[in-house]
Amino acid sequence: MYQLVKTRHGMFLANPNDFYIGRALIDYGEFSEKEWELLTQLIPPGAHVVEIGANIGAHTVSIAKAVGPSGYVAAIEPQPVVFQNLCANLALNGLTTVQAINAGCASKESELSFPRIDYDKPANFGAVALDALPEDPGSSFRVPIRPLDVLIDPSALHLLKIDVEGGEADAVRGAEGLIAKHRPVLYVENDRVTKSRELIELIQALNYQAWWHTPHYFNPANFAGNAENIYGRVISVNMLCIPVERTAHVPNLKQVDGTDWHPLQAIV
C-alpha cells in the first residue's frame, strides 16, 4: 500500500490513496511547497516549533531539519495509523529532536475512541475532523484530547502551526497559556468560511495581527518536474499571525482587516 519516495526534503513513506498529501509526495516529490517557502523564513536554527496536526510529517521533516539539533519540534497527530506513518518518516530521516505525540488538541480534556478508517481506499486523510468523528466503542485506539497548555511545557516557543480541519479556534483556546507566555508566531489554517469569523476574532483578542496566505497546492517548479496539475486551482487557506508588539513587514500578503471577507469567497 505505502510507497517509499525520495522527495525534495528527504525520504518519505507515503500512502498513494491519500489524494492530497500522499499523492503530492509521490507525484511531485513535495507537498504544498509554497507553504514551506513561507515557513522556512520563520524558523531559524535553534527555534522551538509546535505543529498541531502534523499528519505524516510532510512539513515536520522540513521543520526539524531547519531548526537543527539545537532546536525542538513537537509534532502532534491524533489519527493512530497516520501517527505511525509520521514516526516512520521521522525515523527515515534520522530526526531525533522531534517529540511525536499521538493526541488531539482542544480547549478541554477528553478522550476519543477512534473509529476504524480504511486507509486502503482513496480519500483525503488530511481532512479528518475530530469533532465530526463518531465514537467507536469497539475500537482499540483510544486517543487523548488535551489542551496544548496541558500536553507540553516547552522552554521556548517561536512558531505554533495549527492545521486541524475546522477545530483551529478550539485548539488556540487550549494553547492560550503558552501563547501568552511565549508570544510565538502563529500559522493557522482558516479554510472553513463558516468558522472564519470566530477564529479571526479570537486571534485579534490575543493581540495578534494577521495576514492571509493562500498558496496553490500545485507548484509548477515541483521537485519531480511533473507538469501535470492534478489539483487544479485548489489552494490552502492559512493565516500568518504576528504579535502586535512586534514590527512586522509582510510583503505580498493581504492583511486580515475584518471578519466578513474570506479568500474562498473570491474564487469563482
pLDDT of residue 1: 76
How many helices (H) and strands (E) in the chain? 8, 12
pLDDT in tens, 91-133: 999 999 999 999 999 999 999 887 888 888 887 877 777 776 7
pTM: 0.95
Give the separation between CA 7 and CA 28, rounded to whole angstroms. Answer: 8
Q: Stretch 61-88: mean pLDDT, rounded?
A: 97
pLDDT at 268 over 60: no
Q: How far is CA 215 from the centre of its chain?
A: 14
Higher pLDDT among residues 83 and 130, named by residue: 83
pLDDT at 28 over 90: yes
